[in-house]
Amino acid sequence: MSIRGSVVGRLLLIDVAASVAVLGLWYLVFSTYNRKKGAAALRWVQTACAGKGRILESRWVGSSRLQARLHFASQWFENARVTVRFRPRALPVQWLVSCWRRQQETLTFEADLGGSPSLHLEVVRHRWSAHNRGTSSRKRDEREWDIYEPGPIILTTRTPWKQDRTAELNALMSARRQDILQVRFRPESPQFSATLHLKALADPNAAAGFLSALREMAAGASAHRR
């Protein structure tokens, strides 16, 4: 019995050591993969700055989040920084959960403006909706759809609400054109933030227009500064 127990113990130790080695190799490979993607993302950000700004420094927070500070020659933005969130590939369980939830890799730009906005505003990207009218008389396996594009919907706690809020409308339209997922204004730092899919910056044309879109949205808040 002692010999059999010793063999089982050795096999268990081998299994544990092999599992640790596999997990360690997994972490090394996929953390390296994320870092390569991070280097590419920083190049896309530098391209998006179009010579108007530059990356001062960058650092990793864990294996799936990259932060970088930016500096702009003019007073467009202050205390600017970007946060890139990758899928947690280096951690198998978190990676599987991320895939199951279909989480996308995103880039968030945050900065302070020349003056503090006097409002809290969060703009979420437009969504399309469709209504099914049922099967057509021509082909039973095809369905006819009516497509509708909803207009801007603004939820506010402010009383009274003014109808000439050009900042909100400009931000809505700019976010829609640039495929930006979320825009946020607030009096506290960071006063302005915008989030988009990371893969959108891989397109040189989209990257070139990204900074202009940010400037346009930030300028829209000037009417509400204190």
Condensed to tens digits (0 to 9), the pLDDT of residues 146-205 reads 666 566 566 666 666 565 555 555 555 555 555 678 888 888 888 888 888 888 888 877
pTM higher than 0.85 for the full model? no
User: Which of the four pLDDT bands, split at 50, 70 and 90, describes residue 138?
Assistant: low
SS3 per-residue string spanning the chain = CHHHHHHHHHHHHHHHHHHHHHHHHHHHHHHHHHHHHHHHHHHHHHHHHCCCEEEEEEEEECCCEEEEEEEECCCCCEEEEEEEECCCCCCHHHHHHHHHCCCCCEEEEEEECCCCECCCEEEECCCCEEEEEEECCCCCCCEEEEEECCCCCCCCCCCCCCCCCHHHHHHHHHHHHCCEEEEEECCCCCCEEEEEEHHHHHCHHHHHHHHHHHHHHHHHHHHHEC
pLDDT at res. 36: 94
Q: pLDDT higher for 134 or 42?
A: 42
Q: pLDDT higher for 186 or 217?
A: 186
Lowest mean pLDDT among 66-75, 124-133, 187-196: 124-133
User: Which of the four pLDDT bands, split at 50, 70 and 90, describes residue 2?
Assistant: low
Condensed to tens digits (0 to 9), the pLDDT of residues 15-63 reads 788 888 888 898 899 999 999 999 999 998 888 887 788 899 999 998 8
